Amino acid sequence: MSNVEIITTIIQQFPYALAGSMIAGLLCAFLGVYVVSKRVVFVSATLTEVAVAGVAFANLVGGLHPTVGSVLLTSLAVLLFARLLRSTAVPSDAILGISYIVALTIRILMMQKTSGAEVAEVESILKGDMLLVTPAHVTIMAVTAAIILLIHLVFFRQFLFVSMDAETARTQGIRSGLWEFVFYLTLAVAVSTAVRIVGDLFVFGFLVIPSTAAMLAAKRVGRIFLTAAVFGALPPILGLFLAFKFDFPAGPATVASAVVLLLPWVVQKR
């Protein structure tokens, strides 16, 4: 196919894949600014593993929608994070590392007990088959993104203080523990919803890559978040094009496109 035919095919036959991945990329990139600035990248990695384990859990018990199972398990993980990361007895990086290993182990054990057909479904989520995104997926992703972004915009000052300067937040009467929990809860819902649609590689990549590029490209805090959102929404367009052009899997091609977007800013800063 020519380039024009590829673009036409994507727009006409896979509009939901494009829309769903762009919304997921934007939301993950926006929240990723907090993840990178708080230096809790392992949290996002752990939550993606937990989200996939939640899908496997829903398939294992039966009668539970995979997205619901994913949200429930990631929300439980957030409750543990909110408590453990405030502890001074164990270094936070050790807690995050152990949590990641535990989440990965749980995912593997659950998949071992799941039937072959359901394992195939879980593995397709791991790969992130964006071309199978449905109108229902886009609706769920759009509503989730709208609610989470609205919460973050309304309480932007609280989230910013807690993430960037927790000591100042406490001196100004902001309940840092509460807002820390709310942040991780919104992150958990975003991750669990997006993983079900675009896969864990996509979600983890977009929680880190666009936000890092935005921090290199912009100086002011507001512009960093705006730039991250733009950098998160654009790569799916190129990723889907490359997937059709070179017969690549759509998820990895999109993450690779995000890396290409980051490289100029890394080179410029050297």
- 153 inside domain: yes
- Of 32, 17, 14, whose CA–CA distance to 225 is shortest? 32
Cα 185 to Cα 22: distance, rounded to the nearest angstrom:
22
Amino acid at 128: G
Q: Tell me the one-letter amino acid at 135.
A: P
**Does residue 206 belong to any structural domain of this protein?**
yes
Give the side-chain half-sphere CA count within 13 A for 191: 36
Number of separate domains in the chain = 1
- Give, in order, the Cα–Cα distances in Å from 236 to each of 8, 75, 254: 15, 27, 5
State how far the Cα of 24 lies from the Cα of 207, in Å rounded to an integer.
Answer: 10
Give me the residue label for tokens 């921090």. Answer: 215
Q: Which secondary-structure segment (H or E) carries 195?
A: helix 176-198
Task: Report the percent of the chain where pLDDT is more than 70.
Answer: 84
Per-range mean pLDDT, top range of 76-85, 121-130, 136-145: 136-145
Using pLDDT thresholds of 50, 70 and 90, give the confidence band for residue 269: low
Q: Which domain holds residue 32?
A: 15-269
The answer to whether residue 143 sits within a structural domain is yes
Q: Is residue 130 part of a domain?
A: yes
Q: Per mean pLDDT, which of 91-105, 144-158, 244-258 is the most reliable?
A: 144-158
Highest averaged pLDDT of the listed ranges 74-78, 85-89, 185-189: 185-189
Six-digit token string for 255: 């993450």
Q: Are 26 and 164 in contact (CB under 8 A)?
A: no
User: How many contiguous H segments (helices) and E segments (strands) does the chain have?
Assistant: 14, 0
Average pLDDT of the chain, as a whole number: 83
| Residue 205: pLDDT over 80 | yes
Least confident of 11-20, 66-75, 167-176, 220-229: 167-176
Alpha carbon distance 96, 77 (integer Å): 11
Q: Is residue 60 part of a domain?
A: yes
Residue 3 forms part of a structural domain: no
**CB-side exposure of 83: number of CA atoms within 13 Å?**
6
Q: Is residue 6 part of a domain?
A: no
Please, what is the end-to-end C-alpha distance for the chain in angstroms?
39
Half-sphere exposure of 170 (CA within 13 A, CB side): 6
What would the mean pLDDT of 157-170 be, rounded to a whole number?
A: 73
Instruction: Say what the pLDDT of residue 48 is.
Output: 82
241 in a domain, yes or no? Answer: yes
Whole-number Å distance between alpha carbons of 161 and 54: 31
What's the pLDDT at 224?
Answer: 94
What's the whole-model pTM score? Answer: 0.86
* Eight-state DSSP code of residue 89: S
Is there a contact between 51 and 72 (Cβ–Cβ < 8 Å)?
no
Higher confidence at residue 43 or residue 3? 3
Please report the pLDDT score of residue 196 as a whole number.
Answer: 80
Q: What is the CATH number of the domain that holds 114?
A: 1.10.3470.10
Q: How many CA atoms lie within 13 A of 31 on its CB side?
A: 33
199 against 205, higher pLDDT: 205
The pLDDT tens digits for 180-191 are: 888 988 998 999
| Radius of gyration for the chain, computed over Cα atoms and rounded to the nearest angstrom | 18
